[in-house]
Amino acid sequence: MTFVNGALFVGARCLSRGIASLIKENGIHHGCVNRVIKASFPWTLATRSFSLGAKLQNVRVQHPAPDFKTTAVVDGQFKELQLSDFKGQYLVLFFYPLDFTFVCPTEIIAFSDSMEKFKALNAAVVGVSTDSHFSHLAWINTPRKQGGLGGLRYPLLADFNKTIARDYGVLIDNAGIALRGLFIIDPKGIVRQVTINDLPVGRSVDETLRLVKAFQYTDQHGEGSVS
Q: Which of 98, 104, 156, 171 is catalytic?
A: 104
Q: Is 104 a catalytic residue?
A: yes
DSSP 44: G
Please report the DSSP string for 54-118 in residue order: --TTS--TTSBPPP-EEEEEETTEEEEEEGGGGTTSEEEEEE-S-TT-SSTTHHHHHHHHTHHHH
Catalogue the active-site residues.
Answer: 104
